[in-house]
A and B are shown apart, each in its own frame.
Chain A
Amino acid sequence: MSLFGNLVGGPQARVNIKLTGIDQRMKKEMSSGRGTTHLLPLYQAHEGVGGIVEVILAPGKKLEHLGIKIELVGAIEMLQDRGSVHEFTNLVKELDTAGVLFSDKQYTFDFATVDKPYDSYTGLNVRLRYFLKVTVTRQYAPNLVAEQELVVQSTTQVPESHSSIKMEVGIEDCLHIEFEYDKQKYHLKDVILGKIYFLLVRIKIKHMELAIIRRESAGTGANVMNESETLCKFEVMDGAPVKGECIPLRLFLSSIALTPTYRSVNNRFSVRYYLNLVLVDEEDRRYFKQQEVIFYNKELG
């Protein structure tokens, strides 16, 4: 009866992970890579992750197990190449040794000093994620598993140097401009302020725009995949300027879905950002100049 019931009549037990202070914790929306997003609790790199694992039995049932453990996993997944998962962190804590549970039971856990060296990230080809995984191992029946994904973010110190980006570019006898972005490093809620000076204009410019490009390279060795993605196009100027004109630029980053710049995360992937200044002439020819900028997290969120 019970065996039958075990097989057919719903789960014998449920396992829940309840994180400490979950209600107060900051949440962050993360895309799971298939177009859906989840609101996930946000942890900083050095923060401990603790909480309670609840094993809730179905009424009148008992649970025989070979042991209960909880893992904190940090993994880099190649999305195009399913199964290629590299766990750079995997910490296991035994919650219970093999036995039988006759009633609901709670286990506290605490990964106090776990190193979470990288930020969570969901890109086009690669995903870096952290999750807690509770496994109730059973002899015959499939294991009971519960997962709780976390978002990890680290904040960076405000960089000391605030040097701007200033550059003169041009095509000889055709177009000379000098552009200036006020910083090289922007935090994610920052504003890009800049100016574009027109030193020489011999082409009929229709408009000028600033694009933010994300370049993601994932994989190792021969399997590196590079992917570029334009996150926003921001028209900066309408019409043709004359020589000597100076066009102001102001772009609020907060409304754009950016991540910090990541360089060689676990030697598996990098995410870089570029500001691309594009001038379009009346014949729709595009003149552009890309310039890398660094984005960083100043505060969580």
Chain B
Amino acid sequence: MALNIDQTKFLEEAMRKVKEQAFYMKHAMDNEDLKGTLTHASDMLRELRTGLLTPKSYYELYMKVLDELRYVEDYFTGLQKQGKPVVELYEKVQSCGNVLPRLYLLITVAGVYIKSLEAPARDILKDLVEMSKGVQHPMRGLFLRNYLSQVSRDKLPDVGTPYEGEEGGSVQDAYEFILQNFSEANRLWCRMQQQPTNAHNKDKKRREKERQELRILVGTNLVRLSQLQGVEAATYKEHILPRLLEQVVQCKDTLAQSYLMECIVQVFGDEFHIATLDLFLAACTQLKEKVNVRAILEGVMDRLATFAEANPAAIPPHLRTFDMFNTCVSKLLEERPGYSVVEVLRLQASLLNYALHSFPGNLEYLNLALGNCATALADKRAAHQEQAVIVAPLPFALDSEGVEVVERLLTLPLACLALKVLELPHFASLLEFLPWASRRQVGVTLLQAVYNSRAKLSDLESVEKLLEMVVPVIKEEPSSVLGSEEGQALRRQQNGEGGVEDAEEEDEAGASRSRGGGSTGSTENGKARRLEEEQLLLGRLVHVMASPDTDMHFRFLTVARRHFSEAPKDRFQYTFPPLVLATLQLVQRVRRREVAAEGADGKQEGDTQGGRAASEGASEQAAAEDGNGVLGLKKRDVPGVQFGCRKLFQAVHEMLTSLAPHFANLALKLFLEAAQAADRCEADAFKLISYEFVTQAFLLYEDEVTDSKSQIRALTAMIGTLLQARHFDESDYDALSTKVTQYAAKLLKKPDQCRMVALASHLFFVGRADEPGHYHDPKRVIECLQRSVKTADMCMASSQHMHLFVEVLNHYLYFYECGCPTVTEKYLSALVAFINDKRNEAALVGGGPAEGSSRAAEIEAYYKNTLDYIRLKKTQTDNKELADRFSAIQV
């Protein structure tokens, strides 16, 4: 605090004196009193000799003085214009007794001198940069040299300036000047730290801070160098960079090395960097141990990568920039065994990132970087284990930073590599070093990348590898404390997953937090959602696998199933449906092959085209033959097809069976899907399979589906499936459809009963009479419909039963139109009359549609449309017979 107050006081005092002297100085200028001007200017500049100010305050003072020096410059310029030789002024100002004011004045005159072209710029600049050595005080010297740099900025004999020439000098003189000023400034800057003090750490820290504040004074010189028009890449390589690097390396100062290397990277152009990469990298390995070389390397890599992306042809391929970086990194690691593992990893990550951006698709480079990491980690682990024997038997584990780096390292290439990752042998080995949660994260990213790339998995090895990599997405972490398989199982039983989950809880919470405000609910909620997302993602994997060979494709699916089965059962709901559906899809392809193979063999096995009734006998025979297996199937080889449809169905059955106890509704739906798929195979052999699947679905319905809504969904699906099916034996079909109708009639709610029974009625009137495989049972149809009407009438809420009546009326109409013999115009006319009665009744009761008039209006419109339809049919002329029949209905 006291220091601050003092600072303010010192600064104020100095400022006051500067202003005072500046005032006298200007007064002297007005009187054309050169001597007085110089005297007061010197006195003003003398304030800069202070040693009391901190860099910040000194800077303020310096800026103020610089403002005043501009007047001096103008004054000198005026004198020069009047014809006074500047050389006289140049000599005159040097009589000032103090070195600092003398040099400020000298530089000021020099500016005018160079501009006047009365003397070669080169000589003047040389003189200035040399004379400035007179100030050896680091801070004062730095500011002085900054002033020199500023004044000379636009007076260098650069190409295209009036100062260039035989006499004035060339760009070489310009950069020599800047280089010298730079190296002197840098030496002063470094010296600030080296100054011997009896003080302790605090002082050192403060000085470090002060140096940070002053660094720009050194860096400016590099900017000036980069602004020289006449410097070409070759010159830069031959003459400039070596000098800069020499200075940087020689100064042996951590702060300076870090800052200056960064400056060099930032300030000079990309072409320059490309031309001099070898030099630059060589210097990188010579820096002080504490310099963050990685940051510097990343800087260069970023620049080159960005440049290469913008101008792909700009970097000559023979340059092999990656190898250069790699060599540099290897050398660094070799020479600095003290690097922490994390640092090593970070270096490799930078390298990898560079390879990714500059050489997308070059797996060799990526693998190299990953391999380096794996080696580093393996070494570390070996060392750790050696130690662990004696000290503590803890397993080798990365710290959180290391984990983060490795995770990043592995995630980085995913976006552009996707499936090609599988070709990187070191990817997997590196993955092993990560903890479960991180591996899962990498797995998720990998999956996303694969999907984004739209690549397909087409060989078994890749499938296996990929699944192996995403194991953490599939499974929970196996306990690592109890080593053996048995132990794990034991522990799971005891803890019921709980232990593992708890352990994961913490980093989970962290992950969801870091992922942003996505989870508004509890962590538990977020976790569940995350799990769902991940599992769905995993499920998609099934669709990425593809092979023209169905056997191979099935193998893929089998492998996937094997992996998925190892997951906790609650995850089956996400991963199994895709598997099942993919298998069912495959069935179609296998079936085609089978049919083709059978055709080729000339063996017409069964009548694949035959209807239900026609193939009855054959199917019985098939059933008798297939006496074994879960589905009553026996493997029958079709030549060339290793895994036939039966095998596939068997797999589906197994999967669904394992799914059923936990997710009945889902399993039910999938059983029905499977049944349809089997039915589509259009061979008698599959009738039984289809029947078995439907049966399984029905059993599930009976045992597991209990709530009304699910029941309705299930029933609708069941009815749909049966309607689709064409190849059941009549007796089987009869049994199944009867069963469904019974289910429908037993529903809890009347409206549900009504609707479902009406829907079930369709089961008894399938196909037109002239179609093969049609099934007509008109009596059952009318029974169902009548039952529906009755049930609807039993419903209490008028608005509801009105709707039901109209619905049933529509069913009636359908069957009437189809020509179902039991559905006669009598029923229709009666129902219409009945509905009309009900309407009038409701109107009488008092504007019935009090609750939800929109609903009432809806029903009214529905009814009206239905009636309109009937009227339309009556007038339809293209089908005379139908029109006649409709005319019989009284509306």
Pick from B98, B131, B140, B191: contact of A235, CB below 8 A: B98
Shortest CB-to-CB span from A253 to chain B, Å, is 10
Determine if A237 and B134 form an interchain contact, defined as CB atoms under 8 angstroms apart.
yes
B137 at the interface (CB under 8 A from A): yes
Q: Complex Cα distance A246/B130, Å?
A: 10
Given the known interface contacts A234-B97, A238-B99, A250-B94, the answer about A245 and B133 at a Cβ–Cβ threshold of 8 Å is yes
Determine if B137 and A238 form an interchain contact, defined as CB atoms under 8 angstroms apart.
yes
Q: Complex Cα distance A241/B97, Å?
A: 19
B235 at the interface (CB under 8 A from A): no
Q: Complex Cα distance A242/B192, Å?
A: 11
Q: Complex Cα distance A247/B137, Å?
A: 13
Interface size on A, residues (CB 8 A): 21
Determine if B99 and A235 form an interchain contact, defined as CB atoms under 8 angstroms apart.
yes
B530 at the interface (CB under 8 A from A): no
In residues 229-250 of chain A, which contact B (Cβ within 8 Å)? 232-242, 245-248, 250
> Cβ of B140: which chain A residues have Cβ within 8 Å of it?
238-239
Shortest CB-to-CB span from A230 to chain B, Å, is 12
Determine if B131 and A237 form an interchain contact, defined as CB atoms under 8 angstroms apart.
no
> Cβ of A234: which chain B residues have Cβ within 8 Å of it?
97
Q: Complex Cα distance A240/B133, Å?
A: 11
Determine if A248 and B136 form an interchain contact, defined as CB atoms under 8 angstroms apart.
no
B100 at the interface (CB under 8 A from A): yes
Q: Complex Cα distance A59/B187, Å?
A: 83
> A-B pairs with CB below 8 Å: how many?
57
Determine if A245 and B95 form an interchain contact, defined as CB atoms under 8 angstroms apart.
no
A252 at the interface (CB under 8 A from B): yes
Given the known interface contacts A236-B99, A248-B131, the answer about A242 and B94 at a Cβ–Cβ threshold of 8 Å is no
Determine if A248 and B95 form an interchain contact, defined as CB atoms under 8 angstroms apart.
no
Determine if A255 and B95 form an interchain contact, defined as CB atoms under 8 angstroms apart.
yes
Determine if B91 and A239 form an interchain contact, defined as CB atoms under 8 angstroms apart.
no
Q: Complex Cα distance A234/B97, Å?
A: 5
Give 1 or 0 for each of B79-100: 1 = CB within 8 Å of chain A CB.
Answer: 0000000000001101101111
Query: Which residue of chain A is the closest to B131 with respect to CB atoms?
Result: A248
Determine if A248 and B130 form an interchain contact, defined as CB atoms under 8 angstroms apart.
yes
Q: Output the residue of A204, A232, A238 with the most chain B CB within 10 A.
A: A238
Q: Complex Cα distance A230/B100, Å?
A: 22
Give 1 or 0 for each of B169-201: 1 = CB within 8 Å of chain A CB.
Answer: 000000000000000000100010011100000
Determine if A245 and B136 form an interchain contact, defined as CB atoms under 8 angstroms apart.
yes
Shortest CB-to-CB span from B141 to chain A, Å, is 7
Shortest CB-to-CB span from A60 to chain B, Å, is 51
Q: Complex Cα distance A245/B130, Å?
A: 12
Determine if B133 and A239 form an interchain contact, defined as CB atoms under 8 angstroms apart.
no
Q: Complex Cα distance A236/B134, Å?
A: 6
Determine if A238 and B133 form an interchain contact, defined as CB atoms under 8 angstroms apart.
no
Q: Complex Cα distance A236/B132, Å?
A: 10
Determine if B133 and A248 form an interchain contact, defined as CB atoms under 8 angstroms apart.
yes
> Cβ of A246: which chain B residues have Cβ within 8 Å of it?
133
Given the known interface contacts A248-B130, A252-B91, the answer about A240 and B97 at a Cβ–Cβ threshold of 8 Å is no
B539 at the interface (CB under 8 A from A): no
Determine if B136 and A252 form an interchain contact, defined as CB atoms under 8 angstroms apart.
no
Q: Complex Cα distance A152/B91, Å?
A: 29
In residues 217-235 of chain A, which contact B (Cβ within 8 Å)? 232-235
Q: Complex Cα distance A242/B193, Å?
A: 13
> Cβ of B102: which chain A residues have Cβ within 8 Å of it?
235
> Cβ of B97: which chain A residues have Cβ within 8 Å of it?
232-235
Q: Complex Cα distance A246/B136, Å?
A: 10
Determine if B137 and A240 form an interchain contact, defined as CB atoms under 8 angstroms apart.
yes
B49 at the interface (CB under 8 A from A): yes
For this complex, into which size category does the number of interface residues on chain B fall?
20 to 34
Determine if B191 and A237 form an interchain contact, defined as CB atoms under 8 angstroms apart.
no
In residues 128-154 of chain A, which contact B (Cβ within 8 Å)? none
B135 at the interface (CB under 8 A from A): yes
> Cβ of B191: which chain A residues have Cβ within 8 Å of it?
242
Q: Chain A binding site: helix, strand, loop or mixed by DSSP?
A: strand
Pick from A232, A233, A247: contact of B136, CB below 8 A: A247
Given the known interface contacts A252-B91, A252-B94, the answer about A239 and B135 at a Cβ–Cβ threshold of 8 Å is yes
Shortest CB-to-CB span from A232 to chain B, Å, is 7
Determine if B135 and A237 form an interchain contact, defined as CB atoms under 8 angstroms apart.
yes
> Cβ of B91: which chain A residues have Cβ within 8 Å of it?
252, 254
> Cβ of A241: which chain B residues have Cβ within 8 Å of it?
136
Determine if B94 and A239 form an interchain contact, defined as CB atoms under 8 angstroms apart.
no
> Cβ of A235: which chain B residues have Cβ within 8 Å of it?
97-99, 102
B402 at the interface (CB under 8 A from A): no
Shortest CB-to-CB span from B129 to chain A, Å, is 10
> Cβ of B194: which chain A residues have Cβ within 8 Å of it?
242
B111 at the interface (CB under 8 A from A): no
Q: Complex Cα distance A241/B133, Å?
A: 9
> Cβ of A240: which chain B residues have Cβ within 8 Å of it?
136-137, 195
> Cβ of B100: which chain A residues have Cβ within 8 Å of it?
238
> Cβ of B195: which chain A residues have Cβ within 8 Å of it?
240
In residues 91-145 of chain B, which contact A (Cβ within 8 Å)? 91-92, 94-95, 97-100, 102, 130-131, 133-138, 140-141
> Cβ of B130: which chain A residues have Cβ within 8 Å of it?
248
Shortest CB-to-CB span from A174 to chain B, Å, is 14
> Cβ of B98: which chain A residues have Cβ within 8 Å of it?
235, 238
Q: Complex Cα distance A256/B119, Å?
A: 26
> Cβ of A207: which chain B residues have Cβ within 8 Å of it?
99
Shortest CB-to-CB span from A18 to chain B, Å, is 35
Shortest CB-to-CB span from B231 to chain A, Å, is 28
Shortest CB-to-CB span from A185 to chain B, Å, is 21
> Cβ of A236: which chain B residues have Cβ within 8 Å of it?
99, 134
Give 1 or 0 for each of B32-51: 1 = CB within 8 Å of chain A CB.
Answer: 00000000000000000100
> Cβ of B49: which chain A residues have Cβ within 8 Å of it?
238
Shortest CB-to-CB span from B821 to chain A, Å, is 118
> Cβ of A233: which chain B residues have Cβ within 8 Å of it?
97
Shortest CB-to-CB span from B449 to chain A, Å, is 57
Pick from A237, A239, A247, A255: contact of B138, CB below 8 A: A239
> Cβ of B99: which chain A residues have Cβ within 8 Å of it?
207, 235-238
Q: Complex Cα distance A238/B135, Å?
A: 5
Determine if A239 and B136 form an interchain contact, defined as CB atoms under 8 angstroms apart.
yes
Query: Which residue of chain A is the closest to B130 with respect to CB atoms?
Result: A248
Determine if B95 and A238 form an interchain contact, defined as CB atoms under 8 angstroms apart.
no
> Cβ of B95: which chain A residues have Cβ within 8 Å of it?
252, 255
> Cβ of B196: which chain A residues have Cβ within 8 Å of it?
204
Determine if A239 and B137 form an interchain contact, defined as CB atoms under 8 angstroms apart.
yes
Q: Complex Cα distance A246/B194, Å?
A: 19
Shortest CB-to-CB span from B562 to chain A, Å, is 73
Shortest CB-to-CB span from A240 to chain B, Å, is 6
Q: Complex Cα distance A233/B191, Å?
A: 28
Determine if A250 and B131 form an interchain contact, defined as CB atoms under 8 angstroms apart.
yes
Determine if B141 and A239 form an interchain contact, defined as CB atoms under 8 angstroms apart.
yes
Query: Which residue of chain B is the closest to A251 with respect to CB atoms?
Result: B94
Shortest CB-to-CB span from B700 to chain A, Å, is 90
Q: Complex Cα distance A248/B133, Å?
A: 7
Shortest CB-to-CB span from A48 to chain B, Å, is 35
Q: Complex Cα distance A241/B141, Å?
A: 11
- Give 10 pairs: A residue, B residue, CB < 8 Å, sorted on A: A207-B99, A234-B97, A236-B134, A237-B135, A241-B136, A245-B136, A246-B133, A248-B134, A252-B91, A255-B95
B: which residues have CB within 8 A of A?
Answer: 49, 91-92, 94-95, 97-100, 102, 130-131, 133-138, 140-141, 187, 191, 194-196
A: which residues have CB within 8 A of B?
Answer: 204, 207, 232-242, 245-248, 250, 252, 254-255
Can you add 7 more A-B contacts, CB < 8 Å, to A238-B140, A239-B136, A247-B133? A207-B99, A235-B97, A237-B135, A240-B137, A242-B191, A248-B130, A252-B91
Closest 5 CB pairs of A and B: A239-B137, A239-B136, A235-B99, A255-B95, A241-B136
